[in-house]
Structure 1
Amino acid sequence: MIRTGDQYRESIRDGREVFIDGERVKDVPSHPMFKPLVDIRARIYDMQWDARTRDVMTYTEEGQTHGIGNKLPKTQGDWWDKRRATDTVLEEVGGIVTRVGDETVGEMWSLFDGQDVLNEVDPRFSENIRNHILRVLHNDPFHVSANTDPKGDRSKPPQAQDPDMLLHVVKETDAGIVVRGAKYETAAAYANQAFTKPTIANWGDSAYSDYAVGFICDLGSPGLKFICRTGFAGRRPIEDYPVSNRFDEVDALVVFDDVLIPWENVLFYRHTKAAMFIRATLHRYSAFAYVQRNLKLADMLIGAALFNARQTGLDKQQAVQEKLAQLAVYREGINAHLTGAITLAERSPGGLLMPNQSLLYTGRVLACSQLHEMMHIARELCGGQICVTPDAATFAHPEAKPWLEKFYKVNEDWVAEDRRKLLAFARDILNSDYAGHRLTFQLFAQSPPYAHLAAVYRNFDWDGPLDFVRKAAGLSDRVMGPTTRTPGDSAVSRWFDAGIMNRTAAE
């Protein structure tokens, strides 16, 4: 039920059409711009078998072993297990990988919660989502997500321009639907399947639309073309760019050139209510995995900044300590939201246990909205040398080496080579093309800031503050208007009771 790394590598040798850096790729697993991430994903599969890590990475049910990331979350313990497994992966590979499956399978759980909506369209669709969730558990595919279309002129409806700017159904057959258009997908060129769904936010009064379609796409299907952005791996020596060369997750424009989607892979079709439901609940579970990556990035910023301050004794200065404390507050703020989201988790409409939605979404706003500021604080603490230090080849040059060893050695503990490595690492996570790409990637992977705040608005318990002020100001009950709460029941007590209930269930 769990695959090996080599089985994964072979599964993407299926003749898919992949283009990158001006060439058609002959073999995805061995191509220098894909190989680093293919190897990391393969390593994650092998960690499920490795005696050192298999107990953290897997669970056993009915005599079968499955990956913990794919498990339907039903208890607090499930979420702690997922968090522990993700941390283990990131520490094992020594960096951050975002699109490896555990963060996108959660989007399917949102559809699991929406089976009543799917049944309004066709009962087969809710059966399909149940079957695919089981298939993910049993086949252990590398599962990614397809959201963003090229869109074209956003002032016009899709029918008023080239209709292919948004993915849509062009034909129905006995075997399934035929779709045409394109999607931007991270890691699609080296993944097995993608949950594909629309990005239209406003369907107006339309109840039905050929653009309202969601399905599981086998990424080896005929008619798919993967047109990738140039990767960072291999462009500069790994000694100078140790992060860019190992952790670049290549994005692709995936072209659907009349691709057949079998009916058993269709999760919703034409019904705009289903499309609106999935857009509103898409990150109900998956946001947790994304925010957890930001926590590990905060650790990277702190480690790089603190090492740079300590090597010259600047960590003794109050001004430096205050900036380090700002990084620590940011890090612990993310940690607190993730921990609280598990501890006060909520039962979902489908009977799953979802992270506390208000805490999860406010934690995402904290993690994303302050990231650029934290990166700049880390730059200040690392100092100007991250932008003026020569490359590794110059450090090795016989004539330059003695001078660089002289001027880059700080003391017996910090010799020139260690200092060069630290500065190269800091430059790569803060100043490089890759660093800028990763910062912008937050707007794509985690959705834009306005969507973050909209999610907070929809999930925050506004009744609690209103009821508190109603009582404190002596207002009548009439001013409250419609409410989902029991009068006198505070948000804090409900969250506390939910935490006790869920802890009991987990135990």
Structure 2
Amino acid sequence: MLKTGKEHLESLRDGRRVYIGRTLVEDVTTHPAFARAAQTISDLYDLKADPANSEVMTYVEDGERHSSYFMRARSREDLAKRSAAHKRIADLSYGLLGRSPDYVASFVTGMAVSPEVFNDTADRVVAYWRHMRDNDVYAAHAIVAPQAARDPKFYERENLPIPTLRVVGEDDAGVIVHGMKMLATGAVLANEIWIGNILPLAPENEAESITMAVPCNAPGVSLWSRKPLGTAAAEEFDAPLSRRFDETDAMVLFDHVHIPWERVFVHNDVPLSRELYFRTPAHAYGNHQSNVRFHSKLELLVGVASRVAQSTGADQVPAVREKLGRLASQEALLAGLIDGQLWGAEPWGDGYVTYNRRSMYAAMNWCVEHYSELIDVLRELCGGGVLQFPADCSVLEDDELRRTFEEFWHTPQLAAVERMKLHKLAWDFVGSEFAGRHQQYEKFYAGAGFIVRGHNYREAPWDHFHGIVDGLLDSYTHPSDVPGSPS
């Protein structure tokens, strides 16, 4: 079943507990901090439900039409359809919604490709995937322990409970969990949260190895939002990205929450709680979405950079053209890495396929390592231009001030109002709080850099590389091995 935007907004009015500081938000669809981002998600659902987009955005299974990102791919064509759906979703937000509804859904779909990995809970995993698919569920995830949990001996010495989420009890109906997980990006706008562990746990931490799913409005669950960024400006003209695309990040707290067994997928199994992401195509499905989403963002960045240069005539300077050419080459490089994930598709399990993992991890590492550099190029092209404009667009509402503004702020290339609009957009990309959040996000959304490079190490064909070296070494001899050579 395909959900409409109106239906998704209605589903968010469910009694969830969201805190901004000490303020409890009664309705995230109307609160100024979240309403415009909620509307963006609503628009996304309407995009998918529009019959004009059904060829790309949906597929048919079990007699019903579902969102394409729930499709378990059996061919390169299936993977391409999934990828095209990710691109349309990413383009709607210019790649600024990192955890849009297709992200966690792709992880769960990848798990449903190889449910046997889960042993006794395989049927639960498939059932949950069907639940998400059939109800067009938007799930966020929180799969990292809070930073405070990194020194458990401190809590032992102080006789304090470790703040990370763990199982504290169980009964015939399920388990009881208590503690905190991070970072539930998008959860304020989502229906459910997938809880797990993407980082290794110590063998003795069985109670923390819980992998489960929980509705955002479950009794005892609360979301503690960081400072919302969508209210920074009164008008969209002054902060066009912040106003529409702040997906929010939140810590998720569990106060003795009861989770029914049908939503528990891993329990008391430390290795499996992490390996499930790599022993299934989950990580490849989910992070292909991340690559595609970053590409949409990079296209916007390259376009803004070029328009800013054009607005002053700097695009005619050879050194500026060189910078723009390099940006364009970087966009093409990422596009090629994404295409490579399709052309190098890997078979998986019983007739399924997944994206090429080496190309996917290479693209992920490239994105993590280069975002700051890309933003700095745009920052350099903006120069002091983004600092030269009035505080906000209210100046345009006063006839005398507007005449003065239009006389002194134009350039031969661009009228003053259009120039201000462009530079406000550029500032929201490079200098606002929203921009700062995105710089932090792009560097760490997949974990610290060494974790991303660890994925690349794991997937590298070392036997092949070593074979090349060994074959070369075997192709010639040491002089002492040649007959008649001096001893």
Q: TM-score, normalised by structure 1?
A: 0.87
1:146 to 130, 135, 142: 142
Relative to structure 1, the CA distance from residue 399 to residue 444 in structure 2 (aligned partners, 3 Å threshold; closer, same or farther) is same
What is the rounded CA distance, in whole Å, between the counterparts of 1:196 and 1:72 in structure 2?
A: 22
What is the rounded CA distance, in whole Å, between the counterparts of 1:262 and 1:130 in structure 2?
A: 16
- Tell me the residue number matched to 2:333: 333
Q: Which moved more, 1:159-168 or 1:281-290?
A: 159-168
Relative to structure 1, the CA distance from residue 171 to residue 443 in structure 2 (aligned partners, 3 Å threshold; closer, same or farther) is farther
- Tell me the residue number matched to 1:247: 245
What is the rounded CA distance, in whole Å, between the counterparts of 1:350 and 1:110 in structure 2?
A: 13
Q: Does 2:224 align with 1:224?
A: no
What is the rounded CA distance, in whole Å, between the counterparts of 2:454 and 2:90 in structure 1?
A: 30
- Tell me the residue number matched to 1:259: 257
Indicate if the aligned counterparts of 2:395 and 2:401 stay in contact, CA closer than 8 A.
yes
SS in structure 2 of the partner of residue 234 of structure 1: coil
What is the rounded CA distance, in whole Å, between the counterparts of 2:223 and 2:384 in structure 1?
A: 40
Q: Which moved more, 1:401-410 or 1:148-157?
A: 148-157
Relative to structure 1, the CA distance from residue 16 to residue 62 in structure 2 (aligned partners, 3 Å threshold; closer, same or farther) is closer
Q: Does 2:151 align with 1:155?
A: yes
Cα distance per residue 1:91-150 (max 9 Å; x no partner): 34556322122111222245345544421xxx2x11100111111111111111111232
Alignment of 1:57-206 (within 5 A): 57-93=57-93, 96-112=96-112, 115-119=115-119, 123=120, 125-156=121-152, 160=156, 162-184=160-182, 185-204=184-203, 206=204
What is the rounded CA distance, in whole Å, between the counterparts of 1:254 and 1:59 in structure 2?
A: 33
Relative to structure 1, the CA distance from residue 156 to residue 49 in structure 2 (aligned partners, 3 Å threshold; closer, same or farther) is closer
Q: Which moved more, 1:395-404 or 1:247-256?
A: 395-404
Indicate if the aligned counterparts of 1:113 and 1:351 stay in contact, CA closer than 8 A.
no
Q: CA deviation at 1:199?
A: 4.8
The one-letter amino acid of 2:245's match is: F
Indicate if the aligned counterparts of 2:371 and 2:443 stay in contact, CA closer than 8 A.
no
- Tell me the residue number matched to 2:483: none
Indicate if the aligned counterparts of 2:225 and 2:249 stay in contact, CA closer than 8 A.
yes
Q: CA deviation at 1:164?
A: 4.2
Q: CA deviation at 1:74?
A: 2.4
The one-letter amino acid of 1:220's match is: N
The one-letter amino acid of 2:409's match is: Y
What is the rounded CA distance, in whole Å, between the counterparts of 2:4 and 2:443 in structure 1?
A: 33
Q: CA deviation at 1:351?
A: 4.8
What is the rounded CA distance, in whole Å, between the counterparts of 1:114 and 1:151 in structure 2?
A: 31
Indicate if the aligned counterparts of 1:183 and 1:255 stay in contact, CA closer than 8 A.
yes
The answer for unaligned runs of 5 or more in structure 1 is 477-507
- Tell me the residue number matched to 1:492: none
Relative to structure 1, the CA distance from residue 95 to residue 470 in structure 2 (aligned partners, 3 Å threshold; closer, same or farther) is closer
- Tell me the residue number matched to 2:393: 392
The one-letter amino acid of 1:393's match is: S
Indicate if the aligned counterparts of 1:341 and 1:356 stay in contact, CA closer than 8 A.
yes
Relative to structure 1, the CA distance from residue 162 to residue 455 in structure 2 (aligned partners, 3 Å threshold; closer, same or farther) is farther
Aligned residues: 469
Cα distance per residue 1:218-243 (max 9 Å; x no partner): 22211111111121112213221110
Q: Does 2:7 align with 1:7?
A: yes
SS in structure 1 of the partner of residue 178 of structure 2: strand
Q: Which moved more, 1:389-398 or 1:461-470?
A: 389-398
SS in structure 2 of the partner of residue 283 of structure 1: helix
SS in structure 1 of the partner of residue 461 of structure 2: coil
Q: TM-score, normalised by structure 2?
A: 0.91
- Tell me the residue number matched to 1:317: 317
Alignment of 1:356-435 (within 5 A): 356-390=356-390, 391-411=392-412, 414-435=414-435
Indicate if the aligned counterparts of 1:330 and 1:367 stay in contact, CA closer than 8 A.
no
Q: Does 2:447 align with 1:453?
A: no
Relative to structure 1, the CA distance from residue 95 to residue 294 in structure 2 (aligned partners, 3 Å threshold; closer, same or farther) is closer
Indicate if the aligned counterparts of 1:141 and 1:193 stay in contact, CA closer than 8 A.
yes
CA RMSD in angstroms, aligned pairs only = 2.1
SS in structure 2 of the partner of residue 338 of structure 1: helix
- Tell me the residue number matched to 2:479: none
Relative to structure 1, the CA distance from residue 456 to residue 199 in structure 2 (aligned partners, 3 Å threshold; closer, same or farther) is closer
SS in structure 1 of the partner of residue 152 of structure 2: coil
